[in-house]
A and B are shown apart, each in its own frame.
Chain A
Amino acid sequence: MSLLHFAVLLPFLYTVFVPLFFKKLPRVHTGWFVLIVPLLLFVYFAAQFPLRSGSAPLFQSLSWIPSLGIRFDLHLDGLSMLFALIITGIGFLVIVYSIYYMSKEREALHNFYIYLLVFMGAMLGIVLSDNLMVLYVFWEATSVSSFLLIAYWFQRKRSRYGAQKAMLITVTGGFAMLLGFLMLGSAAGTFSIREIVAMKEVIVNDSLFIPAMLLVLLGAFTKSAQFPFHIWLPDAMEAPTPISAYLHSATMVKAGVYLVARMTPVFGGHMSWFWIITIIGIVTLFWGAFMAIRQFDLKALLAYSTISQLGLIMSLLGIGSLALHTNYEAQAMLFSGAILAAVFHLFNHSIFKGSLFMVVGILDHETGTRDIRKLGGLLSLMPVSFSLTIIGGLSMAGLPPFSGFLSKEMFFTGVLTAYQHIDQWVVLLPIVAWLASVFTFVYCLVFVFKTFTGTYRPERLDKKPHEAPAGMLVSPIVLATLVLVIFFFPNLISYTLLEPAMRSVLPSLLQPGEVFEVDIKPWHGFNTELFMTVGIVVMGSLLYKTYKKWSDIYYNLPRKFDFNHMYDKGLTGAERLSARVTNFYMNGFLHSYLSYIFTFVIIVVGGSFLLQRAFAIDPSTNAVIEWHEYLLAVSIAVSSGFVLFVNSRLTSIIGVGAVGYLVSLLFVIFRAPDLALTQLVVETITTALFLLCFYFLPKLKTEVVRIRVKVSNLLISIGVGTVFTLIGISAQSTNPFKPISHFFLNSYELSGARNMVNSILVDFRAFDTMLESVVLFTAGIGVYTLINLRKSRREKR
């Protein structure tokens, strides 16, 4: 247990105290007490900083389930560091923001902060785990905490719907990913990511390589809301806004990106890895940007924008993975630029999207709505929020002087590199990327101008808007400042954060001690990238102005291809199907249930005997049979068969009684005097009881059953009889164990009893007999109660 382990577990441990703070100190907002956790963690991770330039990553080992090869190993390298700082840094700002956003009088804050801390710990666990199984556990923990946070206002139907949707989609992907991990583990013989990377050569040639890749990608794509699994993210916006800012834009949805980056050293360099990720990423980029424009809810707009931006990062990771491909060794450094762009944009997106979400939260808080049809003209009322939106929005659109511009340019460089070095038709890649960026520009304009300019219509708002309190503005201001600072001084983070992260994605490209050359600058001269950006501004402004004319295409999209529609249909269909299947066999008929049980016995017990060839018939040791014994056996069979065919109650009771008495005669022949005596007594009482029922119960009817049911009953009965007979005969014919009965020959010395059976019952196994008496007694009470109690109560009435 090292300090690094403690860092991951700290948020989990701290949850224990949160309810105490909430209950005992209700005057102070619980958030203030929680704030210390991300602060401590941020400082701790920042203190690990001298990771730069070739120093070895931090590795801490802890044994967990050694027999399964599962070790709680943590590994802090450049990529983990980037994520850990984002998780704790944004986490800190989000909690500060939430203190002003979440009312301490009205909300169940302890739940909120417990879920948040669980998420924070789980997310740190994902990015620090070296073991795939541990990573999976944390992965699902983030899904669960995300579910709880989306459904935080569980009174609302939309919240529950969104939470369920997010859960179903991400957990399904998680399961696929687990399967992929198991395949990887079996191919490599270890679950350690570092060892798997080291064994890349073995894994690539394994037959499970492609299936494992696809399954792992399914997990990554569902988590990072990639097309067509993106549909859960807009519905997840039902969560409180600090959560949307934290989980659903800055951190959790980037877990899929993290996984892809982490797995690049294993799968990267394979063409299918490149194609799948790049195509899915670019389609997501386009579709998200396209759909964002039509949204009226500001949060939904940001959700689609997040989807789109995640697609951008994904596609960059896809392109960058080619740096590991043997055919492109000469261009490896060019392609590695895409990885740099990916990690850089990941960082940028976290800061500008975080601040934008916080601004939307402020708008919601101050005006009572997030609907852009109601908002407008807030510029003079909320100038600070406006400035923040300009910074965040234009950074998102990829304009200078904001950090988004830098990574956007690098993105264009990436897609252009791919086009230049792969194939002619890959020209589609930069074209789609450019179109998507045009749409991105349009929705950024929608966000900024529809909210803050235009006519101010106070009658449509629930509250009288004014600027937010300072506490709520602090966090977005910090983030927006970062956006500006990074633009002017990108090299503040280039060798400290970005290059080490890049090195963990592409470790094999470097010799020990080498570093990637990372020089980010805003001005590259008049190149294609710059013209693309200019084109975006021109085309985007044009589209924004003419939006009314082309907005019809949104309403003419075929409903059949709406993925939400498919999801809903699929869900109700699955529910109906499972209800139908369940109702089919759970039909309430005792007869059916008993039939299942008997059939199961026949098939499973009989079948496994058959398969194991366990049936053995060896009559050589049988005792001789006397003629009266034949007579007894036949009489038993006849009297029992008799019960089947008569309809008179009395006759069938006599038949059952006859079997009982005949069995007691058998016991005499079997040299079991005690049994014979007991059986005689019991049979007499039982017959008397049967006769009592005969007196009270109605006459037996000829049962009207369909011939099909009759035949199936007969078959089941014969099956049961045959299977048990065969098992019985086989059991006689084989004697795998030595009998223990010789021990009881000493019963006189041990217990002073000459009757061995009796000494077993009352001495050697006395507890059994005592409990048996309890059963008898209980049954007696039951009989008495059932006969008397209700009668007396009814009489009283």
Chain B
Amino acid sequence: METLMTITAGVLFTVGTYLILSKTLLRIIMGMSLFTHGVHIMLMAINGLKRGAAPLLGEEAESYTDPVPQALILTSIVISFSLTAFSLVLAYRTYKEHGTDDVEQLRGQEND
């Protein structure tokens, strides 16, 4: 299971990297989003999966899954959400201002 999940994460990394390397702003943001998903899956997988109950003491189980990566990922989800939202609006604004969403055309010159 862990290996399978890591490979899934690897697929997300590959696709994410490819999208990040493209020229369109929207694609770059989508790439970042996929990359984050990959990171989350991988963080879970590294720790070992399905070892015990959900980390809720009310379950009164023998063992619980590790709560630490979950707390980390929860933080990460929120942060990456902020990032995605901001990037999207930035892309929107950039398009409004410059009339293009192609990062190659957006590069500034040193002497500008």
Which residues of A does B touch, CB under 8 Å? 588-591, 594-595, 598, 617, 619, 621-625, 629-630, 633, 636-637, 640-641, 643-644, 649, 652-653, 656, 659-660, 663, 666-667, 669-675, 678-679, 682, 685-686, 689-690, 692-693, 696-698, 700-701, 703, 705, 713-714, 716-718, 720-722, 724-725, 728-729, 731-732, 739-741, 744-745, 747-748, 754-757, 760-761, 765, 768-769, 772, 775-776, 778-780, 782-783, 786-787, 790
Tell me the minimal C-beta distance from B17 to chain A in angstroms.
Answer: 4
Listed from nearest, the 10 A-B pairs whose CB atoms lie closest are A721-B14, A725-B10, A779-B82, A756-B67, A717-B18, A717-B17, A756-B55, A588-B107, A760-B71, A728-B6
Chain A residue nearest to B82 (CB atoms) is A779
Q: Which residues of A contact B4 (CB under 8 A)?
A: 625, 629-630, 633
Q: Check if B50 sits within 8 Å of A671, measured CB to CB.
A: yes
A487 CA / B51 CA spacing, docked (Å): 99
Bitwise, B18-52 to A at CB < 8 A (1) or not (0) is 11111111110010011001101110111111111
Q: Check if A622 sits within 8 Å of B54, measured CB to CB.
A: no
Q: Check if B45 sits within 8 Å of A728, measured CB to CB.
A: yes
Chain A residue nearest to B65 (CB atoms) is A671
A340 CA / B21 CA spacing, docked (Å): 72
Q: Check if B70 sits within 8 Å of A682, measured CB to CB.
A: no
Q: Check if B26 sits within 8 Å of A633, measured CB to CB.
A: no
Q: List 26 A-B contacts (CB under 8 A).
A: A589-B107, A590-B103, A590-B107, A591-B23, A619-B2, A623-B50, A623-B51, A633-B5, A636-B12, A640-B34, A641-B11, A643-B34, A666-B5, A672-B55, A678-B74, A682-B77, A692-B88, A717-B17, A720-B14, A739-B47, A755-B57, A757-B55, A761-B75, A778-B82, A780-B85, A787-B89
Q: Check if B30 sits within 8 Å of A656, measured CB to CB.
A: yes
Bitwise, B69-112 to A at CB < 8 A (1) or not (0) is 01101110111011111101111110111000101101111100
Q: Check if A747 sits within 8 Å of B88, measured CB to CB.
A: no
Q: Which residues of A contact B108 (CB under 8 A)?
A: 588
Chain A residue nearest to B28 (CB atoms) is A590
Chain B residue nearest to A619 (CB atoms) is B3
Q: Check if A663 sits within 8 Å of B40, measured CB to CB.
A: yes
The 8 Å CB contact of B45, one of A643, A693, A732, is: A732
Q: Check if A622 sits within 8 Å of B85, measured CB to CB.
A: no
Given the interface pairs A595-B21, A696-B92, A721-B13, the reply to whether A671 lies near B34 with Cβ below 8 Å is no
Chain B residue nearest to A749 (CB atoms) is B57
The 8 Å CB contact of B13, one of A588, A725, A776, is: A725
Chain A residue nearest to B22 (CB atoms) is A703
Please report whether the interface of chain B is mostly helix, strand, loop or mixed according to DSSP: helix
Given the interface pairs A623-B2, A756-B55, A772-B75, the reply to whether A718 lies near B93 with Cβ below 8 Å is no
Q: Check if B19 sits within 8 Å of A644, measured CB to CB.
A: yes
Q: Check if A675 sits within 8 Å of B75, measured CB to CB.
A: no
Q: Check if B88 sits within 8 Å of A659, measured CB to CB.
A: no
Q: Which residues of B contact A685 (CB under 8 A)?
A: 81, 85
Tell me the minimal C-beta distance from A30 to chain B in angstroms.
Answer: 43
A728 CA / B8 CA spacing, docked (Å): 11
Given the interface pairs A728-B42, A741-B68, the reply to whether A591 lies near B21 with Cβ below 8 Å is yes
Given the interface pairs A623-B49, A747-B57, the reply to whether A724 lies near B77 with Cβ below 8 Å is no
Q: Check if A670 sits within 8 Å of B75, measured CB to CB.
A: no
Q: Check if A697 sits within 8 Å of B25, measured CB to CB.
A: yes
A713 CA / B1 CA spacing, docked (Å): 30
The 8 Å CB contact of B18, one of A670, A714, A731, is: A714
Q: Which residues of B contact A721 (CB under 8 A)?
A: 10-11, 13-14, 17
The 8 Å CB contact of A659, one of B10, B34, B109, B110, is: B34
Q: Which residues of A contact B82 (CB under 8 A)?
A: 775-776, 778-780
Given the interface pairs A659-B37, A678-B78, A783-B86, the reply to whether A643 lies near B15 with Cβ below 8 Å is yes
Q: Check if A588 sits within 8 Å of B57, measured CB to CB.
A: no
Chain B residue nearest to A617 (CB atoms) is B3
A720 CA / B21 CA spacing, docked (Å): 12
Q: Which residues of B contact A779 (CB under 8 A)?
A: 82-83, 85-86
Q: Check if B8 sits within 8 Å of A637, measured CB to CB.
A: yes
Q: Check if A698 sits within 8 Å of B95, measured CB to CB.
A: yes
Q: Check if A670 sits within 8 Å of B50, measured CB to CB.
A: yes
Given the interface pairs A669-B50, A725-B13, A757-B67, the reply to whether A679 lies near B77 with Cβ below 8 Å is yes
Given the interface pairs A643-B15, A700-B24, A744-B67, the reply to whether A636 lies near B74 with Cβ below 8 Å is no
The 8 Å CB contact of B101, one of A589, A598, A698, A725, is: A698
The 8 Å CB contact of A783, one of B5, B46, B89, is: B89
A747 CA / B19 CA spacing, docked (Å): 42
The 8 Å CB contact of B11, one of A636, A678, A703, A756, is: A636
A745 CA / B98 CA spacing, docked (Å): 54
For the A-B complex with A761-B75, A772-B79 known, give 5 more contacts whose Cβ atoms are closer than 8 Å: A693-B91, A732-B6, A761-B71, A772-B78, A780-B85
Tell me the minimal C-beta distance from B15 to chain A in angstroms.
Answer: 4
Q: Which residues of B contact A590 (CB under 8 A)?
A: 103-104, 106-107
Q: Which residues of A contact B18 (CB under 8 A)?
A: 644, 713-714, 717
Chain A residue nearest to B93 (CB atoms) is A786
Q: Check if A598 sits within 8 Å of B9, measured CB to CB.
A: no
A768 CA / B73 CA spacing, docked (Å): 13
Q: Check if B107 sits within 8 Å of A783, measured CB to CB.
A: no
Q: Check if B3 sits within 8 Å of A729, measured CB to CB.
A: yes
Chain B residue nearest to A724 (CB atoms) is B13
Q: Check if A697 sits within 8 Å of B13, measured CB to CB.
A: no
